[in-house]
A = this chain, B = another copy of it.
Amino acid sequence: MSMHTVTFLPHNKKVSVNDSDVLIRAAMEAGVHINASCGGEGVCGKCRVIIEEGEIEGGISEKLNQEDIDKNYCLACKSLVKSDLTVRIPVESEINADVLNRQAMPRKTARIRQTNFDDLKEKGLFMPPVEKRYLELPVPDASDHVPDVTRLINYLKMNHDEHRLVVSLPVIRKVPEVFRKDHFKVTATLSRPVQEGRKTHIINIQPGDTTARNYAIAVDIGTTTIYGQLIDLATGEVLAEYGDFNGQISYGEDVISRIMYAEKAGGLETLHKVVIQTINKVVRKIVDQSKVDLEDVNNITLAGNTTMTQLLLKVDPRYIRRAPYVPASTLYPPLKAVDLDIELKDHANALVYPVVSSYVGGDIVAGVMGSGMYRTEEVTLYMDIGTNAEIVIGNKDWLACAACSAGPAFEGGGITFGMRATQGAIEDFSIDPLTLEPMIITIGNVRPKGICGSGLITMVATLFELGVINNSGKFDRDLKTPRIRETDGVYEYVLAWRTETQIDRDVVLTEIDIENLIRAKGAIYSGALTLLEEVGMSIKDVERVMLAGGFGSYIDLEMAITIGLLPEMDAEKVVFIGNGSLMGCRMSCLTNRIRFDVVEVTKRMTNFELSETPSYYERYIAALFLPHTDLNQFPKLKARLESRRKNGVSPNKT
């Protein structure tokens, strides 16, 4: 994809963007504030900029008159970058350069860790759990009339060095006909053992050479959303991806209410059936999209939290929510997809990630396996951020984990205008430090409906760093702006006025919202600290942070550190892996090494019950500030805040 450089004047800030990126996003990334309150739909008309050089597409709206257009004005939120550009922020949008340079830093989005297929191959780890082998067998005659299956096994040994083979009954049933369909030219599908040294199962036999067609499916079963990917096992490529709401949502929002429903007569069967229906819908979508033959989909790997896993497998989850919180099992045996009523062919394997405990589930194990943290020397802190946040610390020698209830703030729960990271969610935000006018960007560049996790973090961090809110998350009562107001006794900041939204109401961020976010980040940060203490370490010993979760397509690292969700550390050390569960399932489809290792790793993951660790509560209370009661844990932030207090401009006060 071709890249363009956009230069913003008068501050001469440069940013490199993809062709056809939206100009206002380029500005946000460059740390250039442009007032904008409609999310990018072009209705507020505030984000006027002047194109001095280069080419854009669009950018015109009824908010601009002919005179504006003649002067090369356009709306940044409607302009697509088509070449290198020089863009001037006009006087009416401009603010003190000094302020700008300090306040709005370029975004330090965590690097997204992606599957590096070549890397896997180089390390000798590319070894899918299902492989195909093509054979041209000699036709039997009077001097060579071993049974068909014996012929198959003999030649797999001889020509492909395949040993310790087991043939399933359905394959035996197909063999006589398939052998004779194309003159004894056949492709055998081999399913590798889940443990090293155990047997390889021949799970399918096809006439002719079909080795180029070998696919697997990865599925993350979230409490709310189910994501699937279809993976080409020949190339490692993700051919299709699809997500849908978990059909169980109608039976309860969270795992506890699901378990309660499962305890009713027929409840378990219903929840099982419903989640399978969603999985089947996802499977159908990605198979259709990628136009592969269902016959060539040989594997499905699934991961979910412990409750989702038990419901998937129709295992009564009632003891998960009752002290002493005992799950049925950690490991589940390899299955066939059809055993679970997943609509794949009879021969397709189904693998379900093991769980550690009632609240550290297969989604986390998948993240630990897929991210490779269990194979590295570096001490890694893995955090899966959601309603239930899970934390894993360790490396190739040891692993410790814990779960804490963060509350649903990161997924939009308990936030007045909270919403998931879908179309219309405010996902990025900056603010004019003098006027406190916002620049908001929504997913899909449409008028805002609400706020998603990453947007929330950025807002609270920005407001805190600018002094608009204090370290308890309370608004400065003296600021002179119509955007900060008291409604029914609660202070709030208006992100978008009613006319600029999709919902015919002002979209606001309240002090209660901020409190909920602080509680959520406090639970996670203190959980990590407690877990570190339990293993005799401190935050300084952490060499890498891996961030997983579905709270937005990216998270701004500085912002996450500013609110005290993450410990202060080099951006280079942080990777964002997005949906860790899905990633782990995908990696399982590409390297059977994970299945060889996962049982041992799961056993090695020592589970700590934070609720039984008294120091957790103390740490939690200490973390209920921005970023923390002990600002010394965040030395860079502390320095920045002190510098701002001395030199910075302040918002207009009454």
> Least Cβ distance of A155 to chain B in Å?
14
Find A175's partner among B177, B329, B612 (CB 8 Å cutoff): B329
Q: Contacts A140-B324, A142-B323: A332 and B147 contacting too (C-beta < 8 A)?
A: no
Q: Contacts A150-B330, A329-B167, A330-B147: A173 and B324 contacting too (C-beta < 8 A)?
A: no
Residues of A179-203 whose CB lies within 8 A of B:
198
- B326 adjacent to A146 (CB under 8 Å): yes
Q: Contacts A142-B324, A324-B140, A612-B142: A173 and B315 contacting too (C-beta < 8 A)?
A: yes
List chain B residues, Cβ under 8 A from A169: 313, 315, 332-333, 335, 339
Given A172-B315, A172-B329: 20 more A-B contacts, CB < 8 Å: A140-B326, A142-B324, A142-B612, A145-B325, A147-B326, A147-B329, A147-B330, A147-B355, A148-B327, A150-B330, A166-B333, A169-B313, A169-B315, A169-B332, A173-B314, A173-B316, A175-B329, A176-B326, A176-B328, A198-B198
Asked if A521 is an interface residue, CB under 8 A from chain B, the answer is no
Asked if A61 is an interface residue, CB under 8 A from chain B, the answer is no
Closest B residue to A152 by CB, please name it: B329
List chain B residues, Cβ under 8 A from A177: 316
- B333 adjacent to A168 (CB under 8 Å): yes
Asked if A535 is an interface residue, CB under 8 A from chain B, the answer is no
> Least Cβ distance of A606 to chain B in Å?
12
CA of A140 to CA of B169 in the docked complex: distance in angstroms? 41
Find A318's partner among B142, B176, B318 (CB 8 Å cutoff): B176
Residues of A191-237 whose CB lies within 8 A of B:
198
List chain B residues, Cβ under 8 A from A172: 313, 315, 328-329, 332
> Least Cβ distance of A47 to chain B in Å?
55
Closest B residue to A173 by CB, please name it: B315
Asked if A95 is an interface residue, CB under 8 A from chain B, the answer is no
> Least Cβ distance of A449 to chain B in Å?
42
CA of A147 to CA of B316 in the docked complex: distance in angstroms? 13
- A328 adjacent to B149 (CB under 8 Å): yes
Asked if A260 is an interface residue, CB under 8 A from chain B, the answer is no
CA of A194 to CA of B124 in the docked complex: distance in angstroms? 33
Q: Across chains A and B, which 10 residue pairs bring their CB atoms closest together, nearest first?
A: A149-B329, A145-B324, A147-B327, A172-B329, A142-B324, A176-B316, A173-B315, A147-B329, A145-B326, A147-B330
Find A147's partner among B141, B167, B328 (CB 8 Å cutoff): B328
Closest B residue to A139 by CB, please name it: B324
Asked if A331 is an interface residue, CB under 8 A from chain B, the answer is yes
CA of A175 to CA of B326 in the docked complex: distance in angstroms? 12
Closest B residue to A612 by CB, please name it: B142
Residues of A145-174 whose CB lies within 8 A of B:
145-150, 166-169, 172-173
List chain B residues, Cβ under 8 A from A398: none
CA of A470 to CA of B146 in the docked complex: distance in angstroms? 44
Could you mark each residue 290-312 of chain A with 1 if its beta carbon is under 8 Å from any beta carbon of chain B, else 0?
00000000000000000000000
30 sampled A-B residue pairs with Cβ under 8 A: A140-B326, A141-B324, A142-B323, A144-B324, A145-B326, A147-B326, A147-B330, A147-B355, A148-B319, A148-B329, A149-B329, A149-B331, A150-B330, A166-B333, A169-B313, A169-B315, A169-B332, A169-B335, A169-B339, A172-B313, A172-B329, A172-B332, A173-B313, A173-B315, A173-B316, A173-B328, A176-B319, A176-B326, A176-B328, A198-B198
CA of A318 to CA of B148 in the docked complex: distance in angstroms? 12
List chain B residues, Cβ under 8 A from A332: 169, 172
List chain B residues, Cβ under 8 A from A323: 142
> Least Cβ distance of A166 to chain B in Å?
6
Closest B residue to A313 by CB, please name it: B169
CA of A328 to CA of B313 in the docked complex: distance in angstroms? 34
List chain B residues, Cβ under 8 A from A176: 315-316, 318-319, 326, 328
List chain B residues, Cβ under 8 A from A140: 324, 326
CA of A328 to CA of B179 in the docked complex: distance in angstroms? 10
- B339 adjacent to A148 (CB under 8 Å): no
Closest B residue to A180 by CB, please name it: B319
- A330 adjacent to B166 (CB under 8 Å): no
CA of A172 to CA of B315 in the docked complex: distance in angstroms? 7
List chain B residues, Cβ under 8 A from A326: 140, 145-148, 176
> Least Cβ distance of A310 to chain B in Å?
9
> Least Cβ distance of A348 to chain B in Å?
16
List chain B residues, Cβ under 8 A from A318: 176
- A167 adjacent to B333 (CB under 8 Å): yes
List chain B residues, Cβ under 8 A from A612: 142
CA of A14 to CA of B328 in the docked complex: distance in angstroms? 70
CA of A167 to CA of B167 in the docked complex: distance in angstroms? 21
List chain B residues, Cβ under 8 A from A331: 149, 167
Kindly name the residue among A147, A168, A326 whose own CB sees the greatest number of chain B CB atoms within 10 A. Answer: A147
- B324 adjacent to A150 (CB under 8 Å): no
